[in-house]
Amino acid sequence: MTSIQHNLQEVRQRIAAAASRCGRDPQEITLLAVSKTKPASAVAEALQAGQLAFGENYVQEGVDKIQALAHSHPEWHFIGPLQSNKSRLVAENFAWCHTVDRLRIATRLNDQRPPHLPPLNVLIQVNISDENSKSGIMLEALPELAQAVAALPHLRLRGLMAIPAPEKDYQRQLAVCQKMADALASLKQHYPSVDTLSLGMSDDMEAAIAAGSTMVRIGTAIFGARDYGTTPPQQ
């Protein structure tokens, strides 16, 4: 068994264990394998092991892998910060975008989504706890942005995403995740298309699942440590 195959099994077991501890069906939780900085061959290996959905942070790097693996049809999620000048590549190549946090980006994605493709699935990124992050909107701004996004015909509003500030204490992780789950619950009441909470990484996956996450984003535990070399990858 390759190490990617082995790691995937372990991560799936962790998800199943976390789900069963809080009485949830593990099938409700999608594992998004975050393949940023990893070669297409690593994604191919994960596909071989039954992994279907992959997350990328850097637009051009993601598009290169999407093209290299077009024959095997993985589901590609864009999960990085999105600049306006890269929105077209996301609209044309990805199935999901997790990082919509302003109307200008949503409008561009909508206008640039090719009509022969199904609507782009989008999540609104919420800045739930990280004062140092410029990504994500405040919860107070969510109703207005959600209403505008839901009205765009080539986007499908699926839910919310957050990257909570790093926190070691489980109870505090849980409290933050619970705020996201509450926000999702109220969004769901207004928009029937909403069903997804993208929340939980390697260190807070258990708390995220306990709170109600439906999609955890895991990179290192599947593909191993990332090597950025001396220069970080370009957006």
Q: Which residues bind ligand PLP (CB under 6 A)?
A: 34, 36, 57, 79, 163, 201-202, 217-221
Closer by beta carbon to ligand PLP, 47 or else 201: 201
- Give the integer Cα–Cα distance in Å for 104 and 96: 17
Q: Which residues contact 189 (CB under 8 A, 6 or more apart)?
A: none
- Tokens in use for 40? 């297409």
Report in angstroms how near the CB of residue 47 gets to ligand PLP at its nearest. Answer: 18
- Give the integer Cα–Cα distance in Å for 62 and 42: 13
- Give the integer Cα–Cα distance in Å for 203 and 213: 14
* E strands in 2-51: 30-34
The DSSP letter of residue 56 is E
Other CB atoms within a 10 A radius of the CB of residue 220 amount to 12
Report in angstroms how near the CB of residue 99 gets to ligand PLP at its nearest. Answer: 8
Closer by beta carbon to ligand PLP, 11 or else 183: 11
From its phi and psi, is residue 224 left (phi > 0), alpha (psi between -120 and 50) or beta? left
Which has the closest alpha carbon to 222: 1, 62, 5?
5
Instruction: Output the residue with the shortest Cβ distance to ligand PLP.
Output: 219
Report in angstroms how near the CB of residue 89 gets to ligand PLP at its nearest. Answer: 18
Report in angstroms how near the CB of residue 71 gets to ligand PLP at its nearest. Answer: 26
Q: How many residues does the chain have?
A: 235
Report in angstroms how near the CB of residue 192 gets to ligand PLP at its nearest. Answer: 26
Closer by beta carbon to ligand PLP, 19 or else 34: 34
Report in angstroms how near the CB of residue 97 gets to ligand PLP at its nearest. Answer: 12
Closer by beta carbon to ligand PLP, 212 or else 219: 219
Closer by beta carbon to ligand PLP, 19 or else 218: 218
Closer by beta carbon to ligand PLP, 14 or else 113: 14
Asked if 44 contacts 24 with a C-beta cutoff of 8 angstroms, the reply is no
